Structure 1
Amino acid sequence: YWALEHTQALNTLLLQSAGPLFVAIWSLLLLGIRLTLAQAGGLAVSLTGVLVILLQGDLTTLKNIEFNIGDVIFVAALLIFGLYSTLTFKRPQIHGLSFVGFTFGCGAAALVPLLIWELMTRPMMQFDTANLLTLFYVAVFPSTLAYLCFNRGVHLIGANRAAAFFHVIPLFGAAMAIVFLGEHPRLFHVIGFALVLTGVFVASRKPATAG
């Protein structure tokens, strides 16, 4: 959220595509788990699909991208979330709600000094209907429910296989733009969707075990 105050959404979406790489690095350093050839290949295919969607099939779009301090902040966030994703695989054997409650409690406590600083340096948030509904949505859906599902997914299939699904975020974003914003589907959407889904399917498959 802080990064988006300084950079454009396209930058963060492109950088977010590197999320699985951060998870793979942490998994190797902390758990000694390497990407399989299928996982690496699948991630490469799905990443290609992401770029097709974000760049709308036009590589010349890259020349218009300017990186700034917001991008550095976002890379730091990816580094931290990659560590969280990896360590989630080794989380204590407690109920998913208890784990989310504990991590959210620690996170909220760590944010108290920043909250005080923001209240002292920025205007107070307006408690109107739009802002309250926005807070409700962020608290319930992308926070609580999303983390419950993500934590469970990592626990079941491991961080490297779960990280492949990072690449469906731009896919869902494009799909919702078509449904809710009236954008028209184009050929690059179809190609990008196909590449992302194929890559995620390959990367998230359970590795074959020796007989």
Structure 2
Amino acid sequence: MQERLTFRTALLLAFGPLMWAGNAVVGRVVHTLVPPITLNFLRWALAFAILLPLGGWVLKRGSGLWPYWRRFALLGLLGVGLYNALQYMALQTSSPINVTLVGASLPMCMLVVGALFFGASVSRQQVLGALLSLAGVLLVLSRGEWQQLLGLRLVLGDVFMLLATVSWAFYSWQLTLPRDPPTVRADWAAFLLAQITFGLLWSGGMTAVEWGLGAAPIQWGWTLAAALVFVAVGPAVLAYRAWGAGMQRVGPNVAGLFINLTPLFATVLSAAFLGEWPHLYHGLAFALIVGGIWVSARR
């Protein structure tokens, strides 16, 4: 049974967006130190090592995972292999503020993906919310000048983040399908570890291609080491746990609204650590995106 939203639950749900905003900022900080797909692989390799003592039983032969290996291979591709790699690729040419604002269109993207591929019904109210949210995304992509939309040339990072958002929408809808072994689904560490296991295979193959195409060498140092520890512990493990616990208490409809805190946190963190102060159009875009979510979520 779902509970009312309490202050403690709100803190749990806000923790995830804070970590994901930090992930975008840190990814921007180290974008010249490590190739983006390699960064994604290293991040999840560390997360795998952290989760192994907690949910390692799921990798044993009789755990119930292996009859569902195709299912977890797909989840690993969408959630670990593609989404995070595309986000880090986006941060090569785009700012954390832009990346998280484009990513804030995720609930609306989920609406479209659900209607087209999963048979979900869409109301007129939800369509209005989607249009408001889309207006916010277009405002970011045009850098606040609407006339530029006629001859819009997207920054490559914006395109990568749009693709990442579509990937995460498919991943999120896949999670709603009751196709997982109950013992694995009930253990958050085992459930995430199963996805990471297959995700590392996808990410490892992508990393090999990246290096085969002539990726720049990794510049090891304390900055990169600290960044890897953060993105593995915070956004990959702790945020996932906090988000799952909060969503179980109040349900996905209420929890989904909190994802739009990510660009707000990214704006504050970017100003504090990167000196990338927001523009007026960032605030307007954020208001449009949140307004779209609010309209579509109203009963």
How high is the TM-score relative to the length of structure 1? 0.67
Deviations 1:82-134 (A, max 9, x none): 10011122353322222111112211121122333445533442331100001
Distance 2:215 2:280 in 1: 44
Q: Distance in 2 between matches of 1:190 and 1:99?
A: 37
Q: Are the aligned partners of 1:39 and 1:204 in contact in 2 as well (CA < 8 Å)?
A: yes
Q: 1:28–1:63: structure 2 CA closer, same or farther, 3 Å change rule?
A: closer
Residues of 2 paired with 1:12 and 1:30: CA distance? 25
Q: Distance in 2 between matches of 1:72 and 1:56?
A: 14
Q: Counterpart amino acid of 1:96?
A: W
1:157 to 251, 255, 266: 251
Q: 2:267 aligns with which of 157, 170, 174?
A: 174
Q: Which amino acid aligns with 2:215?
A: R
In 1, the alpha carbon distance for the partners of 2:285 and 2:102 equals 17
Deviates more, 1:167-176 or 1:37-46: 37-46
Q: Equivalents in 2 of 1:183, 1:196: separation in Å?
A: 21
- Contact 1:161/1:203 (<8 A) preserved: no
Contact conserved, 1:19 with 1:78, CA < 8 A, in 2? yes
Please give the root-mean-square deviation of Cα atoms over the aligned residues, in Å: 4.0
Equivalent positions of 1:5-24 (< 5 A) are 5=92, 7-9=93-95, 12-13=99-100, 15-24=102-111
**Structure 1 counterpart of 2:162:** 75
Q: What is the CA deviation profile of residues 32-65 of structure 1, one whole-angstrom value per residue up to 9, with x for unaligned ones?
A: 2224444444455556567778878664676795
Rounded Cα–Cα distance in structure 2 between residues aligned with 1:43 and 1:115: 35
Matched residue, 1:107: 199
Q: Are the aligned partners of 2:99 and 2:158 in contact in 1 as well (CA < 8 Å)?
A: yes
Q: Distance in 1 between matches of 2:206 and 2:143?
A: 38
Q: Which consecutive residues of structure 1, in runs of 5 or more, have no partner in the other structure?
A: none
Counterpart contact for 1:14–1:54, Cα < 8 Å? no
3-state secondary structure, aligned to 1:2 = helix
Identity %: 28
Determine if contact 1:17/1:47 at 8 Å carries over to the other structure. no
Instruction: Answer yes or no: is the 8 Å Cα contact 1:53–1:189 preserved in 2.
Output: yes
Q: Equivalent of 1:26, from 105, 108, 113?
A: 113
Partner of 1:94: 186
Equivalent residue letter for 1:136: V
Check conservation: 1:89, 1:154, Cα contact below 8 A: no
Aligned length: 204
Q: Note if contact 1:52-1:192 (Cα within 8 Å) is conserved in structure 2.
A: yes
| 2:239 match | 146
Q: Relative to structure 1, is the Cα distance of residues 124 and 52 closer, same or farther in structure 2, using a 3 angstrom cutoff? A: closer
Q: 1:136 aligns to what?
A: 229
Offset at 1:76? 2.8
Q: Which runs of 5+ in 2 are unaligned?
A: 1-87
Q: What is the correspondence of 1:170-209 to structure 2 with a 5 Å cutoff?
A: 170-177=263-270, 199-204=292-297, 207=299
Q: Which amino acid aligns with 1:139?
A: A
- In 1, the alpha carbon distance for the partners of 2:280 and 2:286 equals 10
Whole-Å Cα distance in 2 between the matches of residues 99 and 172 of structure 1? Answer: 28
* Distance in 2, Cα, partners of 1:193 & 1:109: 36
